[in-house]
């Protein structure tokens, strides 16, 4: 499906150096903030207190967060659990305060708003569990990266694998840089969003690389730059449809999903935008600079191949 068709190829690669310089600066800034400020890890990673509270009637979560924040607890996560009357509360560990003391203070404040509020369970998530989650998250990220590299190397060629993985890591580091700079809370849902962005971003790169391979077969007299420009231009309509519809869904979560989905949707929003950018200006240009050529993608069969009769740039069959 195409909403429109661009007749003349857009010279994307003409400005590849400028856009990649911007990407490099953004990437280095993200790395700097990651090392200087670090990530603001949630309770799942740092340890803290988890409470499940039942109420006699459905409760509004935002006023509850404000009520608990007045007690001096910051970065408290409040979300419904099962029904509108059951609430799950996560609080970071506080120095000089045990999990029992924290839960007692919070329950006393909640009973002021609903005397029938009942503490169903309380748990303490220790830092050791948080460390295990962090290590498991890094392992998951490493497995995804290795898997993508193997897939691209098998389907295309090693130059495309290198270009694709650099572009994907570029997206991931920039997402983490945003979270480090603004000190947004980095939780397990955000980690899931980062992993989702990896798969989402590589899909766009594969579409462009696939069209590049097709163009190398069809257009014999085009050089590499022209082949890449044509591949990107011819997939623009598909990119707008796919990413536009996905972005609308993610924005709806960001605007109307509440505090629970806010940072998850924020990570996806940043990842989708930079995923499009990196697939066009980072992955494609790096592949170009690595010296991709027709022989990398098309096996020599010894038989003559017919060229596209509609291609004005086609020459004699070789």
Whether 284 and 103 have beta carbons less than 8 Å apart is answered as: no
259 domain residue, yes or no:
yes
Q: Are residues 118 and 153 in the same domain?
A: no
- Residue 85: in which H helix or E strand, if any? strand 83-92
Q: Are residues 189 and 225 in the same domain?
A: yes
Residue 103 is part of a domain; what is its CATH number? Answer: 3.30.70.3400
Residue 140 is part of a domain; what is its CATH number? Answer: 1.20.1640.10
pLDDT value of residue 310 = 52
pLDDT value of residue 128 = 58
Which positions ≥6 away from 83 have C-beta within 8 Å? 58
Most confident listed range (37-46, 91-100, 119-128, 247-256): 247-256
Question: What is the dihedral sign for C-alpha 150, 152, 157, 160?
Answer: negative
Q: Taking residues 260-270, report their average pLDDT.
A: 91
Q: Specify the number of domains making up the chain.
A: 2
What tokens were used for 95? Answer: 């120095």
Q: Are residues 99 and 240 in the same domain?
A: no
pLDDT in tens, 238-257: 888 888 889 999 999 999 88
| Angle between helix 258-277 and helix 188-218 axes, rounded to 10 deg | 20
Whether 46 and 93 have beta carbons less than 8 Å apart is answered as: yes
Whether 314 and 221 have beta carbons less than 8 Å apart is answered as: yes
Q: Give CA–CA dist 15/237, Å, rounded.
A: 21
Q: Are residues 168 and 68 in the same domain?
A: no
Q: Give CA–CA dist 129/111, Å, rounded.
A: 31
318 domain residue, yes or no:
no
Place of tokens 């029938």: 116
Whether 52 and 118 have beta carbons less than 8 Å apart is answered as: no
76 domain residue, yes or no:
yes
What tokens were used for 130? Answer: 């948080």
- Full residue range of the structural domain in which residue 61 is found: 48-125
pTM of this prediction exceeds 0.75: yes
């Amino acid at each position: 499906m195409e909403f429109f068709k661009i007749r003349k190829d857009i010279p994307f690669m003409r400005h590849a150096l400028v856009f990649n310089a911007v990407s490099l600066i953004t990437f280095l800034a993200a790395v700097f903030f990651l090392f200087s400020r670090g990530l603001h890890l949630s309770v799942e990673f740092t340890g803290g207190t988890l409470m499940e509270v039942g109420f006699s009637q459905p409760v509004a979560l935002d006023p509850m967060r404000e009520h608990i924040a007045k007690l001096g607890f910051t970065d408290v996560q409040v979300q419904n659990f099962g029904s509108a009357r059951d609430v799950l509360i996560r609080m970071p560990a506080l120095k000089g305060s045990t999990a029992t003391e924290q839960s007692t203070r919070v329950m006393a404040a909640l009973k002021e708003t609903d005397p029938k509020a009942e503490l169903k369970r309380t748990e303490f998530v220790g830092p050791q569990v948080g460390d295990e989650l962090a290590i498991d998250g890094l392992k998951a990220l490493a497995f995804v990266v290795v898997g993508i590299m193997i897939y691209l190397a098998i389907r295309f060629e090693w130059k495309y694998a290198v270009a694709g993985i650099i572009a994907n890591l570029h997206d991931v580091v920039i997402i983490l840089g945003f979270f480090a700079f603004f000190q947004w809370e980095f939780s397990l849902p955000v980690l899931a969003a980062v992993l989702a962005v990896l798969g989402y971003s590589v899909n766009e790169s594969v579409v462009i690389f696939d069209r590049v391979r097709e163009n190398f077969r069809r257009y014999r007299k085009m050089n590499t730059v022209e082949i890449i420009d044509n591949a990107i231009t011819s997939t623009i309509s598909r990119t707008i449809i796919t990413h536009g519809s996905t972005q609308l869904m993610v924005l709806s979560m960001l605007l109307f999903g509440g505090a629970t989905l806010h940072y998850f949707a924020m990570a996806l929003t940043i990842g989708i935008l930079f995923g499009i950018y990196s697939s066009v200006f980072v992955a494609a240009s790096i592949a170009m600079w690595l010296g991709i050529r027709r022989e990398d993608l098309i096996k020599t069969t010894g038989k003559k191949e017919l060229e596209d009769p509609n291609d004005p740039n086609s020459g004699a069959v070789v």
